[in-house]
Structure 1
Amino acid sequence: MDIDRLNIDYGIANHLTFVAGNGGLPFIAIRNQSATALISLHGGQILSFKPIDENVDMLFLSSKSFYEDGKAIRGGIPVCWPWFGPDPKGLQRPNHGFVRTHLWKVLSTTSTDTETKVSLQFIESQKKEKTWKKPFTLKLEFTIGETLSLELVTHNTGDNPFSITQAFHTYFHVGDINQVQVLGLEGCDYFDKLDQGKEKTQTSIVTIAEEIDRIYMNVDNLLTVIDPVFKRRIEIASQHCKTGVVWNPWQKTSRKMADLANQDYKHFVCVETGNIAFDLIQIQPGGEHRLHSNFKILRH
């Protein structure tokens, strides 16, 4: 993509600038009176969000992330679509779908002193994935202000219905994983992916002292990450979804991941919201589905 052309067409003086990021990928740098943010057009992925009065980024980004075509960036908020997890048909297609590894198109940018909006689009003709033959258009809107909001809209532009799973795969930056708590999942049933997918029940607040990979069902619309080290809580308010994921690879699995440093697991937790597993979304011809999440930092 032509960075100069993007700045001419969509740049906003003193608020929004297109820059060549890591690996030469096109990034959007945002600064308004409320917050700063960084968005990669590769993957349609926000990499950084920091309110003006915060010293620490809300999002974790690995220093060993890959920045190249066909590979996902490790951190921020990757978009998983049109499936979450392994290829549901076993066709060797990439985990979590294909939109997180290709470029998105800019639709529009707007800004006030305190809030900036960026709308991106991904359409069938832009992708290299050849095994998804269902006509669609995706729109992803970011709102950067005192809070961060994401909305992903799936449009079925074909003549037949299709089904999707999807998620915002959010990496939260935390001071010490051993002290983190996740509130709002008490009483929820979940599938434990580290124990052959067995169904279990969350009987207390979620704490993390080892590798964790759980898909929670019938999740409340409000979850909270408590981070005592950074003295803050992060509220996650979601709409149009019933499932959530809590994931941390811990030490052993981290060492097998080329795009994570050995000690990175101590400084992030993924609390993901979306339509996952049984929460399959069918979209009729001409129809749409909206997945919305808002993230708010509160002082602890």
Structure 2
Amino acid sequence: MTIQTVMQQLSAAPSISLTDSRELYGSPESIELLHVKSPHCNAVVSIQGAQLLEFMPQDSQPWLWLSPKAIFSKGQPIRGGIPICAPWFGVNQQDPLKPKHGFVRTRNWQLVNITENDQGIVELTFSFTSDKSDTPLFPHAFSLKLVMTLAEHIHISFIAQNTGTETMPFSWALHSYFNVDNLKVAEVEGLNQHAYLDATQDLTRTIQHGPICFESEVDRVYENVGSEQVITGSPSLLLRGNNCPTAIVWNPGIKLAEKMADITSEHYDEYICVERGAAFANTWKVQPQQSITATLSILAST
């Protein structure tokens, strides 16, 4: 979409404006952003990575955490919100020197469509298409589509298509950072009795007993999970996923956070990550020309 087309669509979407990270966050470098101020919510979306950075329903507190130390620089990951990790999740198993969590989160996506209906519900559609320059990183041609609906809740539709001629292994996650008022009392429910891979213990397989608590570093991969998980605390949120059978739960704890310049020991206790996707044993096997769709809804928990 050209800037002229963007401006034309924005003229029909009064709740959305085009801005950048320099204006909103005072960053030295400029990353293009969409700022949503609707009757339902306030939100900020980065065109780099098609990444929802902030979301706050009207008369509520922020649902998502964006690091006060987030770095806004072209080609660099932005710490917070909902980054899209693909076409692999975590460390690349064939080549650990390749970028962690893939490369689409640090690329500009195409903004395909902007709509706002009469009720002020905003829908943003993004697309990403790999090209030959990506082949050294990932030897399969693919395209992605992401549809983000912002109302009193968040709904994301994620579609991956194999545009090549061979079966494509494709792992991914919506790496959601959720704001918590008090890490010591925050819990994640909905994974009781599930086996998980503990990344703090060399991926040792362990059984979850009760809710997940955050007394120290937590880095766990749960496979073949149910649709719903709940984050208790303030705010309390319900995550409802479809066709995203992996859940990853993460907080670095104070010791690891001290080594992370865009988190530090000052901010590690402000968030938890509960990510949904398809990774490890749940990695998608996408046939040539096949498309696979997953959805994630994030709602207030009652």
Residue 232 (structure 2) aligns with: 226
TM-score w.r.t. length of structure 2? 0.93
Q: Write the letter of the residue equivalent to 1:190.
A: Y
Q: Does the C-alpha gap of structure 1 residues 34 and 249 become closer, same or farther in structure 2, counting only changes over 3 Å? A: same
SS at match of 1:152: strand
Q: Give the distance between the partners of 2:37 and 2:132, measured in 1 at CA.
A: 29
Q: Does 2:3 correspond to 1:20?
A: no
Residue 95 (structure 1) aligns with: 100
Q: Does the C-alpha gap of structure 1 residues 268 and 127 become closer, same or farther in structure 2, counting only changes over 3 Å? A: farther
Instruction: Give 1:276 deviation, angstroms.
Output: 1.3
Residue 26 (structure 2) aligns with: none
Q: Does 2:88 correspond to 1:83?
A: yes
Q: Does 2:184 correspond to 1:181?
A: no
Give ranges in structure 1 of 5+ residues lacking alignment.
Answer: none
Give ranges in structure 2 of 5+ residues lacking alignment.
Answer: 23-28
Instruction: Give 1:31 deviation, angstroms.
Output: 2.0
Q: Write the letter of the residue equivalent to 1:110.
A: T
- Give the stretch that moved more between structures: 248-257 or 121-130: 121-130
Q: Give the distance between the partners of 2:137 and 2:82, measured in 1 at CA.
A: 25
Residue 263 (structure 1) aligns with: 266
Residue 167 (structure 1) aligns with: 173
Residue 272 (structure 1) aligns with: 275
Aligned partners of 1:150 and 1:294 also within 8 Å: yes
Instruction: Give 1:34 deviation, angstroms.
Output: 1.1
Q: Does 2:113 correspond to 1:108?
A: yes
Q: Write the letter of the residue equivalent to 1:7.
A: M
Q: Does 2:206 correspond to 1:200?
A: yes
Q: Give the distance between the partners of 2:287 and 2:81, measured in 1 at CA.
A: 31
Q: Once the two structures are aligned, what percentage of the paired residues are identical? A: 27
Q: Give the distance between the partners of 1:246 and 1:6, measured in 2 at CA.
A: 36
After superposition, give the CA deviation of every residue in 1:72-120 in whole Å (9 maximum; x if it has no partner). Answer: 0000000000100001211511000000011111110111133110000
Instruction: Give 1:50 deviation, angstroms.
Output: 0.8
Q: How does 1:44-193 map to 2 (within 5 A)?
A: 44-54=50-60, 56-90=61-95, 92-112=97-117, 113-125=119-131, 130-193=136-199
Q: Does 2:260 correspond to 1:254?
A: no
Q: Give the distance between the partners of 2:80 and 2:187, measured in 1 at CA.
A: 20
Instruction: Give 1:9 deviation, angstroms.
Output: 4.6
Pairwise CA RMSD: 1.8
Q: Write the letter of the residue equivalent to 2:277.
A: G
Q: Give the distance between the partners of 1:206 and 1:50, measured in 2 at CA.
A: 25
SS at match of 1:117: strand
Q: Does the C-alpha gap of structure 1 residues 103 and 279 become closer, same or farther in structure 2, counting only changes over 3 Å? A: same
Q: Give the distance between the partners of 1:90 and 1:11, measured in 2 at CA.
A: 46
Instruction: Give 1:128 deviation, angstroms.
Output: 5.6
Aligned partners of 1:38 and 1:47 also within 8 Å: yes
